[in-house]
Amino acid sequence: MRRIFLLPLLAAAFVFSVSAAWGAAPTEPPASLACLDINGGTGFSWDGTTLTGSITLSAPACKQGVYTLYVLDQAGDTTPLTSAQGTPVGAGDVIMFSLLVSDQDGTVCVYATSSIGGRVFDVGAPDGQQCLVVDTTGSSGGTPFH
């Protein structure tokens, strides 16, 4: 009888430990997945309607990789105004974004993620910040992502 009780308990513990590890915060991707390592991002500009910019990767984009740019109303927000997937260009280590963004105050905050199968491997934003502030003056897009 003890074995019958112990087996479901062990199975539940295993499922919990796997789900907890899967949901953990992203860290730098392993070297074998350099195609998911966001190591730069500059040139973000916004004219009040269309936001454009790019991120760079440590290696050409993974075939299964999904690269997403999120736009927040301001730093500290948790619900994006919008998001869009980017397109690899050139040698494949640059991901371009272009998306329509509407915001009342003329300032938004952007960050990028790289993922495979829904698992986020890297988050790109300026060092020590949640996101990069971009405004309609075009003066804020030069800070690199890491």
Exposure class string for 83-98: b at 16+ Cβ within 10 A, else e: bbebebeeeebbbbbe
- Among 27-36, 45-54, 112-121, 133-142, which is the least confidently predicted range? 133-142
Enter the tokens of residue 34: 């350099």
135 pLDDT tier (thresholds 50, 70, 90): confident
What rounded mean pLDDT belongs to the chain? 80
Mean pLDDT of all residues in 47-65: 94
Predicted confidence (pLDDT) at residue 18 exceeds the cutoff of 50: no
- pLDDT at position 127 is 78
Predicted confidence (pLDDT) at residue 5 exceeds the cutoff of 50: no
DSSP, res 130: S
For the stretch 81-92, pLDDT in tens is: 999 999 999 899
Q: In what order do the strands lie in the sheet with 38-46?
A: 38-46, 50-57, 94-100, 87-89
For the stretch 60-73, pLDDT in tens is: 999 999 999 999 99
- pLDDT at position 129 is 85
- pLDDT at position 19 is 35
Strand partners, 140: none
